[in-house]
Chain A
């Protein structure tokens, strides 16, 4: 069936399909449509939706709910993401499954509430103290909003960590005509639970890259979760060997599974000297630019990045190998270009990396990208 749908609806439907049963949020343009939908839909399925008194409360409520076993989501934009920061860290430290939608608007600070931007890309990666790895997915259309939201929940469950959906004002609020019968339903993953019998140690892992077994607050075992540096029993620690183990575990848990996060779409009908790399709303201009360029007889391939963090390094290396020119359009001063340059640096021949950037609240047009395809 063909339907008119905005990204907010697609994300909401994806969340519900993934088993989301808790949502807390604070109104902020352009993320509010997600709050409204979730608060309307969740009670119908026996879930809980609540408007917090601010963003700090909203993410806190989600974290509390998640630790009883709920699948929780929240949605905000730059100013709210700033307030989430400390509790994103709690999500990492406490190993809390959680999905956070960031509907990017132009910053800094209150910036432009209704102005599109992709300025939070590095903020998502480094937005909480400590520099531990995070997972961030980025849809380019409504169908991907639906599918990637489910994936975000699955990653959150599997790795017990906050997972971001990086999207933007246009994606969330623009109605798109979509074929919903092709919406991809992804098998639901649930966090691995500790058996009801036997000893339970809240943060025990066999190997550093493992995710600990979960037992909910109010469940069969005595549990203790904490935001502070802890040993496997959730007890505060300063002992270097314990601290090292927990730090490395939080790092390895994501880094050792990088292959699982390599979500990209590589469109390369033939070997081309120019590769365009983009993500989110800007990837749509990129795809159109490539079509026009090919029609004009130019050779170009495109790589759409669906998993911004961790950087899909292998897929990027494969796509960039042999190219002489890499064009990276994005709605910021070149944040993801930094990552592309890092990869290009290690290639021989080393391609030239060129940014196409706008920070004026307008989308990058296909024409602006096509100009860079030689």
Chain B
């Protein structure tokens, strides 16, 4: 690339393998920073699909791309901010929501989207998550839930199912995980949906709805991490994880999120759980 004053260095993929060639004519090209591709994600990782659905939703929503800001924390999911051709802010671990809140309050015209991982948003950043939902802050939060910390080597996350193995639960997880949809709903989110990366059309539609929703909208994306979560939990490839989603997902719109726990082997209830009208933070501020 050889830009003036700065040499671009080769990227290293998360699993250490060779990088794939990128196709020159991808339909999402205009929303991607082609100079940053190929991405670092492993084959079979769900992050590309989640990103693709997000970009599809942006295109369908006809939102002004110049007025969208993407805020990520740190993690494999946090890298999304670096690949989109939109204003982006790559923040400290767990803190994407406060930065996003500041952006939105100081410039309410912006459509502010937080795109980050379950560890980032719910473990270290959990307090910000529940409070932004409680305030019905005008943000769209997309959480890629791969049940594990990817970037740092597969440690226990607050979403890791009980009994699941991770590098810090070598004998199986003794914690109970958070049910993110329930957490968001109980905290006050105006919109809550959950899909897996298998449900690409529905996921894209849900993100589109979330983008249009005033107040706090939350989309949980159940996503394979074959390199770490899959490998330790008998789903070695992304394909096996997708097959698992296919067999175990149950679509239940309007389901009570309390009944939508995700276990190591049981069903994964997906759908739109919450879509309510309630004054958002900015609406209340304007009153």
Which residues from chain A sit less than 8 Å from chain B, CB to CB?
A: 21-22, 24, 48, 50, 52-54, 56-70, 72, 86-87, 89-90, 204, 216-219, 222-228, 231-239, 241-242, 245
Cα distance A313–B91 in the bound complex, in angstroms:
35
Are A70 and B106 within 8 A (Cβ)? yes
B283 lies within 8 A of chain A by Cβ: no
What's the nearest-Cβ distance from chain A to residue B225, in Å? 20
Q: Which of A64, A66, A67, A222 contacts B98 (CB 8 A)?
A: A64
Number of interface residues of B (CB under 8 A): 40
What's the nearest-Cβ distance from chain B to residue A237, in Å? 6
* A63 touching B99 in the complex, CB below 8 Å, given contacts A217-B69, A227-B90, A228-B90: yes
When C-beta atoms are compared, the residue in chain B nearest to A215 turns out to be B87
Q: Determine the chain A residues whose CB is within 8 A of the CB of B71 once the complex forms.
A: 64
* A22 touching B85 in the complex, CB below 8 Å, given contacts A60-B95, A90-B92, A227-B92: no
Are A68 and B110 within 8 A (Cβ)? yes
When C-beta atoms are compared, the residue in chain A nearest to B98 turns out to be A60
* A86 touching B99 in the complex, CB below 8 Å, given contacts A53-B131, A70-B106, A217-B107: no
* A64 touching B106 in the complex, CB below 8 Å, given contacts A56-B95, A218-B87, A228-B90: yes
Cα distance A242–B131 in the bound complex, in angstroms:
38
Residues 61-117 of B at the A interface (beta carbon under 8 Å): 66-67, 69, 71, 74, 81-82, 85-92, 95, 97-107, 109-110
Are A235 and B36 within 8 A (Cβ)? yes
Please tell me which stretch of B2-10, B41-49, B236-244, B268-276 contacts chain A, meaning at least 4 of its Cβ atoms lie within 8 angstroms of it. Answer: B2-10
Are B92 and A64 within 8 A (Cβ)? no
Q: Determine the chain B residues whose CB is within 8 A of the CB of A241 once the complex forms.
A: 7
Are B82 and A222 within 8 A (Cβ)? no
Are A87 and B102 within 8 A (Cβ)? no
Are B101 and A57 within 8 A (Cβ)? yes
Are A68 and B9 within 8 A (Cβ)? no
B13 lies within 8 A of chain A by Cβ: no
B34 lies within 8 A of chain A by Cβ: no
Q: Determine the chain B residues whose CB is within 8 A of the CB of A87 once the complex forms.
A: 92, 95
Are B9 and A22 within 8 A (Cβ)? no
What's the nearest-Cβ distance from chain A to residue B10, in Å? 10
Q: Which of A64, A216, A219, A228 contacts B102 (CB 8 A)?
A: A64
* A235 touching B82 in the complex, CB below 8 Å, given contacts A67-B89, A218-B67: yes
Q: Mark B1-26, 1 if CB is under 8 A from A, else 0.
A: 00101111100000000000000000
Q: Which of A52, A234, A237 contacts B9 (CB 8 A)?
A: A237
17 contacts between A and B (CB under 8 A): A24-B102, A56-B95, A57-B101, A60-B92, A61-B101, A64-B105, A65-B106, A68-B107, A89-B92, A217-B103, A218-B66, A218-B107, A223-B88, A225-B89, A227-B74, A231-B8, A242-B6
B128 lies within 8 A of chain A by Cβ: yes
When C-beta atoms are compared, the residue in chain A nearest to B130 turns out to be A53
Cα distance A24–B89 in the bound complex, in angstroms:
19
Are A61 and B9 within 8 A (Cβ)? no
Q: Determine the chain A residues whose CB is within 8 A of the CB of B107 once the complex forms.
A: 68-69, 216-218
What's the nearest-Cβ distance from chain A to residue B106, in Å? 4
Q: Determine the chain A residues whose CB is within 8 A of the CB of B89 once the complex forms.
A: 64, 67, 217, 224-226
Are B102 and A235 within 8 A (Cβ)? no
